[in-house]
C-alpha cells in the first residue's frame, strides 16, 4: 500500500458539502467512495481508489478492494447516505485494519435540538446491543450511539448467526446524531470497523469530524472557516494505528 498524508486524527482534509447548507471536513487518508457520482463514474472512481491504495500490491488485492468498496458504496447509497468514505490502516504489529465513514441527513420537524437529541438517546438506549448518551460538539447537542454487531463471513448462509455454522466478524459502530433545527435536518455521522482494538481511536476521530460540521458559511458558534483550520487540536494522533 502507498503512504497517505498525516494522521487520520488530523481533520485537515477538504471541506465536503453533503448539500448546499451542510459541510464537514474529512481526515487526510479517508477515501471518498463517490456517492455524488453516477453509478458508472462511481465504479471507475472506486477502481482508481483501489489502485491508489494498493499501488505496490497485486491485481487480486486491487480487484478485491474495489469489490469491497463498491459493496460499501452501494449499501450506503441504498440507505440514502450522502457521503461514504473508507480508510485502510495498519496496526503497530503491521496487521491491516479498515474503517468506513457514512454520513446521511434526515428531515426533522422538531425545532428544539435538545428535544431531538434526548429523544434519540431515549429511543436507541432501549434497543438491545446499543448504548447511547448525550454530549455536545461545536456548541450543539449531539446524541452518540455505540453498537457492536456480528456479521457472518459466509454471504450465502442465511441462518441466524452461529459460530459453528459460520465464522462471525464483529463490527463496531459509533454514530453521532446532530440535530440542525435551523434547516430542519438531522445529520447522522457513523464510523465503523471490524477491528475492535482501534475502535476507541475511531470514536475520537468521529468526535473530531463532528466538531467540523458546519451549516452555511460558518459554524453554529460563529467561527469562521479560517479559524477552524487547526485540526491538530481536535484530537491527538492515535497511538495504536498509523496509515499504510
- Residue 191, in any domain of the structure: yes
- Residue 92, in any domain of the structure: yes
- Residue 124, in any domain of the structure: yes
Tell me if residue 117 falls in helix, strand or coil. helix
With 0-12 / 13-18 / 19 or more C-beta atoms within 10 angstroms meaning exposed / middle / buried, residue 96 is exposed
Q: What is the pLDDT of the chain when averaged over all its residues?
A: 79
- Residue 168, in any domain of the structure: yes
Residue 153's domain spans which residues?
15-219
CA distance 139 to 63: 43
Q: What is the pLDDT of residue 89?
A: 77
Could you tell me the three cell numbers for 141?
447537542
User: What are phi and psi for residue 138, nearest 5 degrees?
Assistant: 55, 35
pTM listed for this prediction: 0.77
- Residue 38, in any domain of the structure: yes
Tell me if residue 28 falls in helix, strand or coil. coil
9 pLDDT band, cuts 50/70/90, is low
Contact 142, 176 (CB under 8 A): yes
Could you tell me the three cell numbers for 142?
449531539
User: Is 70 exceeded by the pLDDT of residue 83?
Assistant: yes
Contact 200, 9 (CB under 8 A): no
Amino acid at each position: 500500500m502507498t503512504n497517505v498524508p498525516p494522521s487520520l486524527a488530523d481533520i485537515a482534509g477538504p471541506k465536503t458539502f453533503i448539500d448546499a447548507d451542510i459541510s464537514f471536513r474529512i481526515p487526510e487518508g479517508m477515501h471518498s467512495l463517490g456517492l455524488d457520482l453516477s453509478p458508472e463514474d462511481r465504479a471507475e472512481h472506486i477502481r482508481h481508489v483501489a489502485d491508489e491504495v494498493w499501488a505496490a500490491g497485486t491485481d487480486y488485492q486491487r480487484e478485491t478492494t474495489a469489490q469491497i468498496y463498491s459493496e460499501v458504496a452501494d449499501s450506503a447509497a441504498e440507505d440514502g447516505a450522502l457521503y461514504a468514505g473508507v480508510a485502510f490502516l495498519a496496526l503497530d504489529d503491521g496487521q491491516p485494519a479498515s474503517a468506513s465513514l457514512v454520513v446521511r441527513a434526515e428531515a426533522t420537524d422538531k425545532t428544539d435540538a435538545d428535544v431531538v437529541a434526548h429523544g434519540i438517546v431515549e429511543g436507541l438506549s432501549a434497543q438491545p446491543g446499543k448504548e447511547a448518551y448525550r454530549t455536545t460538539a461545536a456548541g450543539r447537542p449531539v446524541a452518540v450511539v455505540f453498537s457492536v454487531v456480528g456479521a457472518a463471513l459466509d454471504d450465502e448462509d442465511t441462518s441466524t448467526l452461529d459460530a459453528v455454522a459460520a465464522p462471525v466478524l464483529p463490527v463496531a459502530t459509533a454514530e453521532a446524531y446532530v440535530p440542525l433545527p435551523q434547516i430542519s435536518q438531522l445529520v447522522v455521522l457513523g464510523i465503523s470497523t471490524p477491528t475492535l482494538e482501534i475502535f476507541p481511536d475511531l470514536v475520537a476521530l468521529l468526535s473530531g469530524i463532528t466538531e467540523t460540521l458546519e451549516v452555511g458559511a460558518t459554524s453554529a458558534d460563529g467561527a469562521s472557516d479560517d479559524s477552524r483550520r487547526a485540526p491538530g487540536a481536535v484530537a491527538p494522533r492515535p497511538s495504536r494505528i498509523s496509515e499504510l
